[in-house]
């Protein structure tokens, strides 16, 4: 059957199970959009206000489901507007396929109108990328792109398609007739046995879980290991959903804004078991900090092994499969003395004593309202850390945040993707007033698509995290971090067609949350807090993780 390249692309997406596409049209992708019109009963296209948010929405869709998210943009500025979203997905190992149009082949390299080398631009921030110069290769390219995005360590893949390829015709094949290479991981039994023996010999284990647990769907296996060896577990920001927040062995997030229990336990442990996590600069910056611990590192990506912290034993492979093989070989253990020591670290955590509106109070009330039907997305900054510190997560894929790249403006686009992916859940985007201003126009997309997203703006009138660093490390020289904006966030919500609330007193919050949670329309809550409220505890950049700033 002869089809145009645009038809081949759309039918290939349908064959890959794509039901939703986030994008923004333009001249170079008009043929694709014409085909999308013809197949609108098969693929739901969400028109965003900005291409960056199409990428963020595809990312949020993927994080909420585990499927490949898809976004589409035109050539030139449309393509470059995707770059931040692609880099965000790349840093957090999120599988998305980004499709861009380009000028016709005969105009490539001639500085044509709206031409950029998007393949070259995105090379460092994609697992793989393509420019399709033969319509006969398009169908196979799409299949390969989806396979690469989701296999091994997940990540973004870009397909750039010149406009004349979308109008050229080729034979459409049965997808089963298209073969692609498949890399298999074979884990050596001797390595499994070595790791199990190290776990059996240790006296003070600490499990450090990252986002790889979520990607590998290895949450049950992780919990089985934690409970079998009765080990305390800490998580990275990306690993927040790897185990329930309130599990008795969960001692919280580790690192710069981690709990005292996690940070101190790492310095006292004799064996750290890192699972699907990289030792980033926000976790541990110097191996001297954990010199008494042997390190087991298990990850799908061999490039992460020994990159930042040297391991004593390592396994490269799928976490679910590896843990399934390790667990039968480890002995049940109690580690009672060690857990008593860890619990003594827990008792060092400060309790909230401040009156007035605080992040702690907000999440205390939200936790009370939570019926395990909430997905939390965040922008980036203090509010992001408060959400990670104070919200009680039960289920996986319910915390969606930009970890590695730290992209301000990420949360609302991601919330749109997550809400479309999971209409059975209520999505709440936690924002700061600085991050909110970057992409608040995407609230129009939520309104246009009747998405009952709640955006909570922790409004302190400053760029809070940067101000916090200026306070602690720059002798309170608050250069360009006081916003002094006159924007009325409640009126802004109403102008977009949504609902706005302002909370300035504790007595208001519960009623406002009830109304927001029961609303069928998008809501923005302007939650006014003090500009000097800090994210604590904190470890200064480059400092040992047991040197903790508490006040």
547 domain residue, yes or no: no
Burial 297-328 (b: 16+ CB within 10 A, else e): bbbbeeebbeebbebebbbbbbbbbbbebbbe
The tens digit of pLDDT for each residue in 523-536 reads 999 999 999 999 99
In 183-285, where does DSSP find H-type helix?
Answer: 189-201, 212-215, 219-228, 260-268
Residue 183 is predicted with a pLDDT of 67
Examine the residue annotation and report whether 113 is marked as an active-site residue of this protein.
yes
Instruction: Give the pairing type, strands 169-171 and 2-4.
Output: antiparallel
Instruction: Verify that 121 and 225 share a domain, yes or no.
Output: no
The tens digit of pLDDT for each residue in 189-243 reads 899 999 999 999 999 999 999 999 999 999 999 999 999 999 999 999 999 999 9
Instruction: Give the pairing type, strands 233-235 and 250-253.
Output: parallel
Residue pair 99/432 in contact (Cβ under 8 Å)? The answer is no
Q: How confident is the model at residue 1 (pLDDT cuts 50, 70, 90)?
A: confident
Instruction: Verify that 305 and 372 share a domain, yes or no.
Output: no
Q: Record the tokens describing residue 448, joined without a space.
A: 């246009």
Instruction: Verify that 279 and 426 share a domain, yes or no.
Output: no
What is the extent of the structural domain holding 167?
2-177
Instruction: Verify that 207 and 342 share a domain, yes or no.
Output: yes
* Phi, psi (rounded to 5 degrees) for 512: -65, -45
Q: Record the tokens describing residue 345, joined without a space.
A: 């670290």
**Percentage of the chain with pLDDT > 90?**
89
Q: Record the tokens describing residue 530, joined without a space.
A: 């003090």
Instruction: Verify that 279 and 300 share a domain, yes or no.
Output: yes
Higher per-residue confidence, 522 vs 353 = 522
182 domain residue, yes or no: no
- Is pLDDT above 80 for 551? no
Residue 355 is predicted with a pLDDT of 77
d(CA 435, CA 252): 25
**Percentage of the chain with pLDDT > 70?**
98
Q: Which residue has the tokens 């929405």?
A: 57
Of 114, 324, 346, 425, the active-site residue reads 114
Instruction: Verify that 373 and 466 share a domain, yes or no.
Output: yes
Q: Which residue has the tokens 């809501």?
A: 523
351 domain residue, yes or no: no
Give the H or E element holding residue 235. Answer: strand 233-235
d(CA 167, CA 179): 25
Q: The domain that contains 481 carries what CATH number? A: 3.40.50.970
Q: Record the tokens describing residue 500, joined without a space.
A: 């706005």
Give the H or E element holding residue 21. Answer: strand 20-24
401 domain residue, yes or no: yes
Total length of the chain: 551
Sheet with 250-253, strands from edge to edge, namely 250-253, 233-235, 205-209, 271-275, 294-299, 313-316
Residue 352 is predicted with a pLDDT of 59
Instruction: Verify that 294 and 427 share a domain, yes or no.
Output: no
Q: Mean pLDDT over residues 311-318, rounded?
A: 95
Q: What share of the chain is helix, strand, coil (3-state, %, to 5)?
A: 40, 20, 40
Residue pair 539/545 in contact (Cβ under 8 Å)? The answer is yes
Examine the residue annotation and report whether 146 is marked as an active-site residue of this protein.
no
Q: How confident is the model at residue 170 (pLDDT cuts 50, 70, 90)?
A: very high
Average pLDDT of the chain, as a whole number: 95
352 domain residue, yes or no: no
Instruction: Verify that 67 and 91 share a domain, yes or no.
Output: yes
Higher per-residue confidence, 476 vs 542 = 476
Of 113, 169, 171, 349, the active-site residue reads 113
- Is pLDDT above 80 for 181? no
For every residue of 263-316, DSSP letters joined together read HHHHHH-SEEEEES----TTT-S-GGGGTTSEEEEEES-GGGTTTSS--SEEEE
Residue pair 118/236 in contact (Cβ under 8 Å)? The answer is no
Q: How far lies 338's CA from each of 51, 265, 269, 335, 527, in Å? A: 51, 9, 9, 5, 41
Last residue of a domain, one of 346, 371, 403: 346
Tell which residue, 454, 375, 455, 453, has the closest CA to residue 409: 455
Give the H or E element holding residue 318. Answer: none
Give the H or E element holding residue 549. Answer: strand 548-549
Residue 542 is predicted with a pLDDT of 86
Examine the residue annotation and report whether 360 is marked as an active-site residue of this protein.
no
Q: How confident is the model at residue 384 (pLDDT cuts 50, 70, 90)?
A: very high
Angle at 274 between CA 270 and CA 280, to 5 degrees: 110
Q: How many CA atoms lie within 13 A of 82 on its CB side?
A: 37
Of 379, 465, 501, 538, the active-site residue reads 465
DSSP state letter for 17: T
Residue 353 is predicted with a pLDDT of 59
Residue pair 73/84 in contact (Cβ under 8 Å)? The answer is no
326 domain residue, yes or no: yes
Instruction: Verify that 204 and 112 share a domain, yes or no.
Output: no
Q: Record the tokens describing residue 341, joined without a space.
A: 């020591």
Work out the angle between the directed axes of helices 219-228 and 319-326 (0-180°, nearest 10).
30
Q: How far lies 352's CA from each of 270, 295, 346, 355, 539, in Å? A: 32, 35, 15, 9, 19
Residue 76 is predicted with a pLDDT of 97
Of 67, 143, 163, 204, the active-site residue reads 163
Asked if the peptide bond before residue 20 counts as cis, ω within 30 degrees of 0, the response is: no
Residue pair 545/255 in contact (Cβ under 8 Å)? The answer is yes
Angle at 446 between CA 443 and CA 447, to 5 degrees: 90
Of 51, 221, 379, 442, the active-site residue reads 51
The tens digit of pLDDT for each residue in 16-65 reads 999 999 999 999 999 999 999 999 999 999 999 999 999 999 999 999 99
Last residue of a domain, one of 135, 156, 177: 177
d(CA 32, CA 78): 15
Instruction: Verify that 30 and 139 share a domain, yes or no.
Output: yes
Instruction: Verify that 388 and 517 share a domain, yes or no.
Output: yes
Chain centroid to Cα 497, Å, comes to 28
d(CA 374, CA 516): 13
Q: The domain that contains 234 carries what CATH number? A: 3.40.50.1220
Instruction: Verify that 194 and 172 share a domain, yes or no.
Output: no
184 domain residue, yes or no: no
Q: What is the pTM of this model?
A: 0.95
d(CA 385, CA 465): 10
d(CA 183, CA 197): 29
354 domain residue, yes or no: no
d(CA 53, CA 84): 9
The tens digit of pLDDT for each residue in 427-455 reads 999 999 999 999 999 999 999 999 999 99
Residue 354 is predicted with a pLDDT of 62
Q: What's the total number of domains in the chain?
A: 3
The tens digit of pLDDT for each residue in 391-425 reads 999 999 999 999 999 999 999 999 999 999 999 99
Tell which residue, 416, 404, 370, has the closest CA to residue 244: 370
Residue pair 214/240 in contact (Cβ under 8 Å)? The answer is no
Q: How confident is the model at residue 349 (pLDDT cuts 50, 70, 90)?
A: confident
């Amino acid at each position: 059957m002869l089809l145009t390249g645009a038809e081949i692309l759309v039918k290939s997406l349908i064959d890959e199970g794509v039901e939703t596409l986030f994008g923004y049209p333009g001249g170079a992708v008009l043929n694709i959009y014409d085909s999308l019109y013809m197949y609108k009963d098969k693929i739901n296209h969400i028109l965003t206000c900005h291409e960056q948010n199409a990428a963020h929405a595809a990312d949020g869709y993927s994080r909420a489901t585990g499927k490949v998210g898809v976004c589409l943009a035109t050539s030139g500025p449309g393509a470059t507007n995707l770059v931040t979203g692609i880099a965000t997905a790349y840093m957090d190992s999120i599988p998305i396929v980004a499709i861009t149009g380009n000028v016709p082949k005969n105009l490539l390299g001639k500085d044509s109108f709206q031409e950029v080398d998007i393949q070259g631009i995105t090379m460092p921030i994609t697992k793989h990328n393509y420019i399709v110069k033969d319509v006969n290769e398009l169908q196979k390219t799409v299949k390969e792109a989806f396979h690469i995005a989701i296999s091994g360590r997940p990540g973004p893949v870009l397909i750039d398609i010149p406009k004349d390829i979308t109008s050229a015709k080729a034979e459409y094949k049965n997808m089963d007739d298209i073969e692609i290479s498949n890399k298999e991981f074979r884990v050596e039994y001797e390595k499994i046995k070595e790791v199990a023996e190290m776990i059996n010999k240790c006296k003070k284990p600490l499990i450090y879980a990252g986002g790889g647990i979520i990607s590998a769907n290895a949450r049950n296996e992780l919990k089985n290991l934690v409970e079998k060896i009765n080990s305390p577990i800490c998580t990275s920001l990306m690993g927040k959903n790897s185990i329930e927040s309130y599990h008795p062995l969960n001692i919280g997030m580790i690192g710069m804004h981690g709990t005292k229990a996690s940070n101190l336990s790492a310095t006292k442990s004799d064996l750290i078991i890192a699972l699907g996590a990289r030792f980033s600069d926000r976790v541990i910056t110097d191996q001297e900090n954990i010199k008494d611990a042997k390190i087991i590192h298990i990850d799908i990506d061999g490039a992460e092994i020994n990159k930042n912290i040297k391991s004593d034993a390592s396994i490269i492979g799928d976490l679910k499969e590896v843990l399934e093989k390790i667990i039968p070989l480890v002995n049940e253990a109690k580690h009672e003395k060690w857990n008593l020591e860890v619990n003594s670290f827990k008792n060092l955590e400060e309790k909230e004593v401040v009156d007035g509106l605080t992040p702690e109070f907000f999440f205390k009330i939200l936790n009370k309202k939570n019926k395990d039907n909430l997905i939390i997305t965040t922008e980036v900054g203090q509010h992001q850390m408060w959400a990670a510190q104070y919200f009680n997560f039960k289920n996986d894929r319910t915390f969606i945040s930009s970890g590695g790249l730290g992209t301000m403006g990420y949360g609302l686009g991601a919330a749109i993707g997550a809400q479309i992916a999971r209409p059975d859940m209520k999505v709440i985007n936690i924002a700061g007033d600085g991050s909110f201003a970057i992409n608040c126009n995407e609230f129009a997309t939520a309104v246009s698509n009747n998405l009952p997203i709640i955006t909570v703006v922790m409004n302190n009138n400053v760029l809070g995290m940067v101000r916090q660093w200026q306070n602690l490390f720059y002798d309170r020289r608050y250069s360009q971090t006081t916003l002094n904006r006159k924007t009325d966030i409640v009126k802004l919500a109403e102008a977009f067609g949504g609902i706005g609330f302002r909370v300035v007193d504790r007595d208001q919050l519960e009623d406002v949350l009830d109304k927001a949670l029961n609303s069928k329309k998008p809501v923005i809550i302007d939650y006014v807090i003090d500009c000097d409220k800090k994210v604590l505890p904190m470890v200064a950049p480059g400092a040992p993780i047991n040197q903790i700033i508490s006040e």
